[in-house]
Structure formats: structure tokens, C-alpha cells
Amino acid sequence: MLNDKPASCIFGYSLSFLILFFLSACNSSPPPSSGLEITNAWVRTPPPSAGALAGFMHLKNYSDTPIALLQAKADGFNQVMLHQSINENGQHKMEHAERIIIPPQGSLQFQHGSYHIMLMGFQTTIKSGDKIPITLIFDNKLEKTVHFIVKTPD
């Protein structure tokens, strides 16, 4: 056993793992009727004078068919696009993503350095704690309006 770490520490680790294990096993709420679930939707708090915002979220497809995200819309911005950040040879760029596929029984994470909802041109002040409604349009005629919370991640 490790010499200077007390057994209680290891016990603590194991206990937290056990708790996590049981939590994940029990936490199986029924999938939404649309077959698609969107969680952890957020927008990075913009620094003053920032001209664009990025929205992130987690998408989960409970159905047996792929679902494609085609477009995003939001009031108060003069342009909203689905983007993918790409880093090639130390060069960063953003590209318009036309169809973002969420695989059957799979999930997709919008995150830094990858997919984001690009919100461009806004007049109002946007601050931490605000909620921005964004409508997402999918290929199966599904439209979902999700409230994105404005926050600074730690």
C-alpha cells in the first residue's frame, strides 16, 4: 500500500466512485418524446466590445435514426450560424456547418475548438445569468427552442 497516504484517503476515493457508479446507474429518466434531448446549453459571457458570441450544448439522440441539425435562429442578432472551429497547422478558423449529424442512440457535444452556435451582431448588453432563447431546426421537422444561459466557465 502507499506509504504516506492514509487508508481513509483511499476509502474516500472508493466511496466517491461507488456513489458516482450508483448515481449513473439510477439516473435513467425516460427519453423525451422527440427522441432528442438538449442539455447544458450555455453561452460564454462576452467581454465588453465583443462582436460575436458562441453557444455550446450537449445533444443526445435516443431514436434509432440519425438526426441532423440544420440551422439555428435567435432574435436580437443580425446573423446566427452553425460553426465548427478547425485548427490546421497552428491556424485557427471557423467554418459554416451545414448538417450536423447526431448519430442514432448517440450524442454530440458542442464545445470549444469544435462545434458552436455563432451569434453575430447584437445591440443589447449581454451579461452573466442572462438567458438567450435559441431555436434549433432539425431535419425531421423538429424545432426546439432552448434557453442558453450566459456564464463564464471556471
> Which one, 45 or 135, has the nearer CB to other proteins?
45
32 vs 93, which CB is nearer to other proteins?
93
125-to-44, 55, 131, 132, 153 alpha-carbon distances in Å:
13, 16, 12, 12, 19
Q: Does the protein bind other proteins through residue 99 (CB under 8 A)?
A: no
| Residue 47 DSSP code | P
Nearer to Cu ion, 67 or 83 (CB): 83
Member of 67, 69, 97, 118 binding other proteins (CB under 8 A): 118
Cα 104 to chain centroid, rounded:
18
Closest by Cα among 62, 56, 59, 63 to 38:
59
Q: Is 38 in the site for Cu ion (CB under 5 A)?
A: no
118 binds Cu ion (CB under 5 A): yes
How many CB atoms are closer than 10 A to CB 80? 21
Residues 6+ apart with CB under 8 A from 16: none
Is 5 within 8 Å of 115 (Cβ atoms)? no
Q: Give Cβ neighbours of residue 88 (< 8 Å, ≥ 6 apart).
A: none
Q: Among residues 60, 62, 73, 94, which is the contact residue for Cu ion, using CB under 5 A?
A: 94
Task: Decide if residue 6 touches other proteins (CB under 8 A).
Answer: no
In the complex, the smallest distance separating the C-beta of residue 83 from Cu ion, rounded to whole angstroms, is 3
User: In this complex, which beta carbon is closest to Cu ion, that of residue 35 or of residue 54?
Assistant: 54
Stretch of 9-17, 28-36, 100-108, 137-145 contacting other proteins, by CB under 8 A? 9-17
Q: Is 10 in the site for other proteins (CB under 8 A)?
A: yes
Beta bridge partners of 147: 133
Residues lying near Cu ion in the complex (CB under 5 A) are found at 83, 94, 118
